[in-house]
Amino acid sequence: MLAFRTYLKLIGVVVLRPSLWMTALRSAKRLVPRQWWRNGSHLPVPSRAYIDFRLTTQYGYGVEQPEIADVIDYLEWSKDWHSTGTSMRRRLHKA
């Protein structure tokens, strides 16, 4: 599970980049499990299994915290990807 301070650092960095605010909110909405409060979680954060999977695919085994710069890169990529439009994404995906 990500450390609370990692979330705080990430929020602090995103706050300084207004162009990523909506992208970060959309990503959070997609990643946070529905009805997260029913699972005993006190905060709306992605599931532990998802975080472990993403960290393993990004860094390999044994890494527990992501690099903040990598998360920002992901948000920038996501913003760019969603701004290309559906028809462009279909063409890129078929290639």
pLDDT at residue 86, rounded to an integer: 59
- Residues in the chain with pLDDT values less than 70: 1, 85-95
Domain that holds residue 9: 4-94
- Provide the pLDDT for residue 92: 63
Q: What is the pLDDT of residue 75?
A: 92
Q: State how many domains the chain has.
A: 1
Q: How many CB atoms lie within 10 A of CB 72?
A: 16
The whole model's pTM is what?
0.74
In sign, the C-alpha dihedral spanning 47, 50, 55, 15 is: negative
pLDDT of residue 37: 84
DSSP one-letter code for 61: T
